Amino acid sequence: MSTIAKIFRRYAPAYLEEYGDRLPAEHRKVIKSILECRTPSAGVAVYGCNSCPEKRIAYLGCGNRHCPNCQQDKSRQWLNRALEQVLPGPHFFVTFTVPQELRRFIRSNQRLAYGALFKATSEALKVSLANKKYCGADHPGFFGVLHTWTRQLEYHPHVHFVVPGGGLDRDSKLWQSTGSKYLVPGSVLSALFKKHFRALMKTAGLFDKVPTVAWSKKWVVDVQAVGNNTEGILKYLAPYVFRVAISDSRIVSDENGLITIKYSPSGSKETKLLPLRAFEFMRRFLQHVLPTGFMKIRYYGFMSPASTQTREAVAAMVCLADAESPILVPPSPPKPEPLAIPQAHLCECCQKPMVLLQVWKRNRVVYEPTPLLTAAANRQ
């Protein structure tokens, strides 16, 4: 059981008693999932040994995307897939951040505001890349990841984009390159970002609820040229895609209702300690829970699942347009670590792998192998 799960099991009952009626439904659902994960309430898997009568049971995970027990392998799987789709040539890492005065409004209107963040930022990129002054590509491709937390678990919504250095021109059907050092000025993206977000708030009827001061503030957009180091950027993003806001390794202690976490300030290698009352730790954790069904990673243009352009076709266009971009196969994804069979799935008598016999949920069988599969397993 993860340290975070232990903290929730220790303090969640009192937290729910204190704030239960005021908590969003998504927060209550996450708490319930974490409390039930790896318990009979989440379900039971029954394993049997082919060499002896031994049987074992294992409690199932809850599967909630905010549960620290259930997301360990998904970020690695995403990273492997992302590395397979990397294009040759230079890339850029673009981060869009809203003013601090806008954070409370976004947190109170998460589903609509997060959607607006994606729409406003992606439109800013599309419009600027279509401008011949910068690229002249009316069919770019990129993807973005929503990130909402700081190292101290404070609420800080922003969107990271990985953008290839160029895009496709629909008329000529050729790749238009931006070069390796320059994409679009951050000031241009900032103005477009603010403009599109403002229009979206008016359309949604929420413009009057946005603090007026936010429109006079600077909307920061950071554009970094990362060259061909897309693997490093993808490894940086992978934990944000599927993992929760804090890992067990950053929790130093849980004593007398005080949770101490460690963090490194931005731009520093120094490690600092931050003590938080248990309720405050849970509040900070839960404010990063996403609305039900909301996708925090989105693909656009020729990277969209709906695109008719294959990765191989676009890669060929990149190489034809830029002699400095050799025709490459995508970087080899990291070799998967061998899957160790959990101890609960090894027979204690003969130490041989056990076979899944049944899965129970809510007092009924939801899975049983077919006789054919069972016979095949018995022959092994």
Domain ranges of the chain: 74-245+288-321
The alpha carbon dihedral of 128, 132, 133, 135 has a sign of positive
pLDDT tens string 17-43: 999 889 999 999 999 999 998 888 888
The neighbour count for residue 4, using CB atoms within 10 Å, is 23
CA 271 – CA 61 distance, rounded (Å): 33
Q: How far apart are CA 50 and CA 260, in angstroms?
A: 47
Considering the chain, what percentage of its residues have pLDDT values greater than 70? Answer: 90
* Residue range 70-96, pLDDT digits in tens: 776 677 788 888 988 889 889 999 999
Phi first, then psi, for residue 83 (nearest 5°) are -65, -30
> How many CA atoms are closer than 13 Å to the CA of 283, on its beta-carbon side?
13
Say what the pLDDT of residue 228 is. Answer: 83
3-state secondary structure of 257: coil
99's CB contacts (< 8 A; 6+ apart) are 213, 214, 217, 218, 219
pLDDT digits (tens, 9 = 90+) for 222-266: 999 998 888 889 988 887 887 778 888 899 999 999 999 999 988
CA R_g for the chain: 24
Q: Are 129 and 167 in contact (CB under 8 A)?
A: yes
Mode of pairing for the β-strands spanning 44-48 and 251-255: unpaired
Torsion sign (Cα): 100, 186, 190, 216:
positive
52: which 2 tokens? 């002896």
Q: What is the pLDDT of residues 182-198, one digit of tens each?
A: 999 999 999 999 999 99
pTM for the predicted model, two decimal places = 0.85
CA 253/CA 258 separation, integer angstroms: 8
Q: Bigger pLDDT: 215 or 361?
A: 215
Q: In whole angstroms, what is the distance from residue 262 CA to residue 247 CA?
A: 10
Answer whether 92's CB lies under 8 Å from 224's CB: yes
**Is the Cβ–Cβ distance between 37 and 8 less than 8 Å?**
no
What are the φ/ψ torsions at residue 324 (nearest 5 degrees)? -80, -5
User: What does the pLDDT read at residue 152?
Assistant: 95
Helix or strand or coil: residue 156? strand
> What is the average per-residue pLDDT within 133-154?
94
What pLDDT is attached to residue 370?
A: 61
